[in-house]
Structure 1
Amino acid sequence: MIRMVKPDLDEIDFRIAYELKNDCRISYKQLGSKISLSSSSVYERTKKMEEKNVILSYNAKVDWGKFGYSIHAFILLKDDKFIGDMPSFLKNRDEVFNLYMVSGEYDYMLEVHIANKDDLGNFMDYLYRKVGRTYTLLILREICEVPE
Structure 2
Amino acid sequence: MKEIAIDKIDRAILSLLQTNADWSATDIAQQVGLTTTPCWRRIQRLQQNGLVTKKVALLDATRLGLTTTVFVQVKAARHDGQWLQQFARHVESFDEVVEFYRMSGEYDYLLKVLVTDMASFDHFYKRLVNGIDLNDVTSSFAMEQIKYSTAMPLHHL
Q: Which residue of 2 aligns with 1:93?
A: 94
Q: Which residue of 2 aligns with 1:68?
A: 65
The farther-off stretch of 96-105 and 11-20 is 96-105
Q: 1:145 aligns with which of 144, 149, 157?
A: 149
TM-score after normalising by structure 1: 0.80
Q: Which residue of 2 aligns with 1:108?
A: 109
Deviation per CA, 1:1-60: give whole Å up to 9, x if none: xxxxx5622221111111111111111111111111112111101111111111111122
Change (3 A) 1:138 1:125: farther
User: How far apart, in 2, do the equivalents of 1:96 and 1:89 lie?
Assistant: 11
Deviation >6 Å, runs of 4+: none
Q: Structure 2: give runs of 5+ residues left out of the alignment.
A: 153-157
8 Å CA contact 1:79–1:133 kept in 2: the answer is no
Where does 1:41-60 land on structure 2 (aligned, <5 Å)? Answer: 41-60=38-57
Q: Structure 1: give runs of 5+ residues left out of the alignment.
A: 1-5
Amino acid at match of 1:54: L
Query: Paired residues, what number?
Result: 143
The farther-off stretch of 87-96 and 133-142 is 133-142
User: How far apart, in 2, do the equivalents of 1:91 and 1:70 lie?
Assistant: 21
TM-score after normalising by structure 2: 0.76
> Percent identity among equivalent residues?
20
1:71, distance to aligned residue in structure 2 (A): 1.2
User: How far apart, in 1, do the equivalents of 2:4 and 2:94 lie?
Assistant: 40
Partner-residue secondary structure (3-state), 2:63:
helix
Amino acid at match of 2:121: L
Q: Which residue of 2 aligns with 1:38?
A: 35
Deviation per CA, 1:77-97: give whole Å up to 9, x if none: 222369352221101112112
Higher RCO, 1 vs 2 (CA within 8 Å, ≥6 residues apart) = 2
